[in-house]
Amino acid sequence: MRFKTVDLPYHVYIGENVIQKLPKVLRSLDAGYFLLLTDEIVKNLVVVNLKEMLSEFEYNLMIVESATMEEARKIVLKSGFADYDAVVGVGGGKVLDVSKVVASEFNATLISIPTTASHDGIASPVASFKENGKPVSISTNPPSAVVADLNIIKNCPIRLLRSGYGDLISNLSSVKDWQLARDLVGEDYNEVAASIAVMPAQLMVSKAEQLDLTLLPHLLMLLRGLIMSGVAIALVGSSRPASGAEHKFSHALDYLGYGNGTHGEQVALGTIIMEYLHEKHYGRGDWELVKTSLEKVHAPTTAKEIGLTREQVIEALMLAMKLRKKRFTILEAVKPTKEEFEIVLEKTGIA
């Protein structure tokens, strides 16, 4: 029997005031000397309140200016020959993505302390950047600890929470794509990872009627789902459980520079489209359920809401079919024409 060693978060705390667990986490991970990365806003709102609890530790604090590989390199060079035990990232996606790369460069333990719940990068081993305006994904080590304090995250803009909801429910279509690749081209498939990714998404969609993401119990559900999504990615060493054709669509929008949507908003629209295709061609999607759930949490369900025209959506969908060809999805399976995409957009009311 063959076994594979998998790195997963060792400590995961989600709840009110769990930031108080940070010293315990640092001691458990033998992180007496660490690099704390944050941004200017979070430094003044959150990090300033951590000084007393971190008084027993030695650490350097650096500000992350941008979400780029160049920024990560600057931080590594600025650190010189520092022998950090850990990198502690406190912030949103920009800070956490840079923290992942810096921790991997130092071969140091990563501790993820999110201040938003806008996507599943909180616990995943993937850092996402834009280089020259184009999306780039970098494989990194996953965090050894995640400390997600609801009393901190509840203060982030509601749009970011809705974006996180969109990113989480996109797992519905990405797992269908994975199953399609298993059935049609014999791709390796992991039922455990798929279940970890899709079950929280199914739960959130089923509860959408009652969801209020500003309420702590519902925010807790969202965070658990996003962290589980990241764990599913770490389990198979690939974003496969949480990234299918809907993410190709989002990447295409990024490449083209169209619209003003967040990542979660873009993949949510993509999920409606891909669920339609799965339902039409294989009878196992439910685009109306996905769209209704997004409407219930007041997330965008039309192109216009995120600054897109019908023509731009069509162009992005056509480009999506050319991206990451090795990742088999519903797009590769049915090869939709421009005319079919136009019908999908009309039927779903997206554009």
**Domain ranges (residues) in the chain:** 11-153, 158-348
Give CA separation, 71 vs 65, 103, 134, 174, in Å. 7, 13, 16, 31
Q: State mean pLDDT over 35-56.
A: 93
Q: State mean pLDDT over 97-125.
A: 95
Residue positions forming the annotated binding site for substrate:
120, 167, 251
The whole-number pLDDT of residue 5 equals 76
**Is residue 107 classed as helix, strand or coil in its secondary structure?**
coil
Indicate if 158-348 has the same CATH topology as 11-153: no
**Is residue 214 classed as helix, strand or coil in its secondary structure?**
coil
**What confidence tier does 133 reach under pLDDT thresholds 50, 70, 90?**
confident
Q: Which two tokens stand for residue 208?
A: 């959408």
Domain 158-348 in CATH: superfamily?
Dehydroquinate synthase-like - alpha domain (1.20.1090.10)
The whole-number pLDDT of residue 6 equals 78
Neighbouring residues of 176: CB distance < 8 A, sequence distance ≥ 6: 244, 274, 275, 278, 282, 284, 285, 330
The whole-number pLDDT of residue 132 equals 75
Residue positions forming the annotated binding site for glycerol:
120, 167, 247, 263
Residue positions forming the annotated binding site for Zn(2+):
167, 247, 263
C-alpha Rg value of the chain to the nearest Å: 20
**What confidence tier does 134 reach under pLDDT thresholds 50, 70, 90?**
confident
The whole-number pLDDT of residue 301 equals 98
From the list 328, 164, 344, the residue with the least C-alpha distance to 244 is 328
In this predicted model, what pLDDT tens digit does every residue of 19-30 receive, in sequence order? 999 999 999 999
Residue positions forming the annotated binding site:
93-97, 115-118, 120, 124, 167, 247, 251, 263
In this predicted model, what pLDDT tens digit does every residue of 273-311 receive, in sequence order? 999 999 999 999 999 999 999 999 999 999 999 999 999
Per the model's pLDDT, the better-predicted residue between 4 and 136 turns out to be: 136
Least confident segment among 4-8, 11-15, 241-245 = 4-8
What residue spans of 82-169 are helical by DSSP H? 93-106, 150-153, 158-169
In this predicted model, what pLDDT tens digit does every residue of 178-221 receive, in sequence order? 999 999 999 999 999 999 999 999 999 999 999 999 999 999 99
The whole-number pLDDT of residue 10 equals 92
The domain over range 11-153 is classified in CATH as 1.10.1740.10: no
The whole-number pLDDT of residue 1 equals 61
Residue positions forming the annotated binding site for NAD(+):
93-97, 115-118, 124
